[in-house]
Amino acid sequence: MDFNTLCIHGNSEKYDTTGAVSVPIFQSATFAHPAVGESTGYDYSRQQNPTREHLEKIMVKLEGGFDALAFSTGMAAIGAVMELFSPGDHIIASDDLYGGSHRLFHQISMKNGISFDFVNTSDISMIESHIQPNTKGVFIETPTNPMMQVTDIKAVAELTKRHNLILIVDNTFLTPYFQKPIKLGADIVVHSGTKYLGGHNDTLAGFVVVNDEKISDRLRFIYKTTGACLSPFDSWLMIRGIKTLPIRMDKQQENAMKLANWLGDQQKVKTVYYIGLPTHPGYEISQRQGSGFGAMISFEVDSEKTVRDILEKVSLIQYAESLGGVETLITYPMLQTHGDIPKAEREAKGINECLLRLSVGIESAQDLIDDLARVIKGE
């Protein structure tokens, strides 16, 4: 079945007898037992709920995995994955990460006895050189947030399999529409469903998709024990959002390409980071391992004054955290998404006072360009 069709009909199971086209919202915390020792298959919504199950089965189809779990947020999803590891374990992770992941690893996971090495995972030799006897996993974002570094998932998967490591890929930026890490060899895929999968900036959600029954069983136990499950109503919002994922992402990518090219011609713009540009160092890998480039752009301007002018004077583009929605959002990573990272560390990665991140929406590309041109060019 085609991906576009799967987004709408990826789970054909019926949960009621009314003929409702939209899956019902089973807004129930608990479910009655038919008799002693019998169950309808649903007992308590922390463990499973029909609306959430419907969503999870769609995500399994979209990512091509064995099982999917829907969480209350993307960080709850990553937090649950970290519970697969034990004190004394070592993980290698991308050195350019979403600030929330950086905060979790440094402030929570390390406290719990897990050690990390953060490396440029686009360089496979860097990953291999940091493997230790106690290394248990590799965690990558590709493209990374916010510097848009690209990692060859298949090459990393071959490396992790040789060393019996778990490969975890954050696929938030590209979604399974443009990139399928499990088919490239990943063991676990994580998402902030808040972003492109939901697509409307109106709900928080997270996903873990796994390709192994044993990992699924362990995560299901962690899931029901720690309880960060997605609510029935938010599950329904995610189901609704996923139905339009392909057409949204096609338009967003089209707009992003136009904006990236336009930004590259502006005198006040020093560098444009967009994986869809042939000049991007990860362009060929992106072409090989995905079917699209997404709609995330980071760009560095000439001064902090230009940054402030853009953030304070754009009118159509909104200065806000998050990404992936139908509305175009602009973010100042050093103050927002990466504000908790020490200055020297973030600046070493290129996250400085002149870097902005743009999540391109589905508006008219020309209107978005006009909004930026009015500020950058003083038009």
List the catalytic residues: 46, 98, 170, 195
Within the chain, what is the greatest distance between any pair of CA atoms?
A: 74
- Specify whether the CB–CB gap between 128 and 81 falls below 8 A: no
- Give the closest residue to 208 by CA, choosing from 76, 46, 11, 45: 76
CA dihedral for 113, 119, 122, 125, sign (positive or negative): negative
**Cα separations in angstroms, 238 against 7, 14, 192, 196, 199:** 11, 18, 11, 10, 8
C-alpha to C-alpha distance for 270 and 255, rounded to whole angstroms: 20
> Alpha-carbon distance 231 to 226, whole Å?
14
DSSP 8-state code for residue 13: -
As separate numbers, helices (DSSP H) first and strands (DSSP E) second, the chain gives 14, 12
Q: Can you tell me the distance from the alpha carbon of 176 to that of 74, in angstroms, rounded to the nearest whole number?
A: 16
Task: Give the rounded distance of the alpha carbon of 97 from its chain centre.
Answer: 11
What are the phi and psi torsion angles at 243 (to 5°)? -60, -30
Q: Evaluate the CA torsion angle 106, 300, 179, 177 in order and state its sign.
A: positive
Q: In this structure, what are the phi and psi dihedrals at residue 126, rounded to the nearest 5 degrees?
A: -65, -40
Distance in angstroms (rounded) separating the CA atoms of residues 370 and 80 = 43
Q: What amino acid occupies position 187?
A: D
Number of Cβ within 10 Å of residue 86's Cβ equals 11
Torsion of CA 110, 104, 283, 296, to 10 degrees: -170
Angle ∠(357,362,366) on CA atoms, nearest 5: 85
Contact status, residue 178 vs residue 149, Cβ threshold 8 Å: no
Cα–Cα distance measured from residue 261 to residue 291, given in angstroms and rounded to the nearest whole number: 20
